Structure 1
Amino acid sequence: MILGLRTAIYPVPDLSEGKRWYIQALEADPYFDEPFYVGFHVGGFELGLIPDGVPGTDGAQALWGVHHIESTFARLLAIGATSLDPVTEVGGGIKVAAVTDPFGNRFAIIENPHFDPAAVK
């Protein structure tokens, strides 16, 4: 079951520069800061930066929350999606995965035990 939006990820060519700009834009420091990912809490959701990405006006990558990522990933494949990124543990018990829907769109999911629905504003 898809629970709702959890994370939007923005690719940046230089993670340090991206982090500096988003600290100013969001007026907040990141809660997670590693060489492979920088995460900010924004109104109960997460804005993430990934390094060495190719920015573009097509938009950020949205990740949709799920309770059980493995079974949801399998169900998406069973109904016609194609595997894009397999289920991967990214730290702190958080797992992500992505498929290509039958129309060619990226559809990403996240199982995040730290997400707090009560924090959504």
Structure 2
Amino acid sequence: MAASNFLGLRTVIYAAPNLGETKEWYTKALGIEPYFDQPFYVGFNVGGFELGLDPNLPLVEGSTLTYWGVPDIEAGVQHILDLGATSHSAIQDVGDGIKVAAIRDPFGNVVGLIENPHVSL
């Protein structure tokens, strides 16, 4: 069997037109400080994956949605909403104990959250 050409998720980058404000919001939302903090890019290490903020990336809503794992979807969504995000899609049980939701951060990016009891990282 041939090895996959894909190694797995490494980085998700969100538009950050106001980098300082966006960095502050994501620092609160994630509960961690960025590991890389420059005027052209801010990077957070989230469970071994990178959440990046790029002030030069245009905000474009497309068909791609990235889900970040959370241990408790209800608490995770509420935490993000309390920080000024809005609901993009309500919490849904998609079967087999897996729940998903999506929020829109205060800057217009759509961020997915997933509670999946079958995956532990």
If the length of structure 2 is used for normalisation, what is the TM-score?
Answer: 0.48
Q: Between Structure 1 and Structure 2, which shows a larger proportion of strand residues?
A: 1
If the length of structure 1 is used for normalisation, what is the TM-score?
Answer: 0.48
Relative contact order higher in (CA < 8 Å, ≥ 6 apart): 1
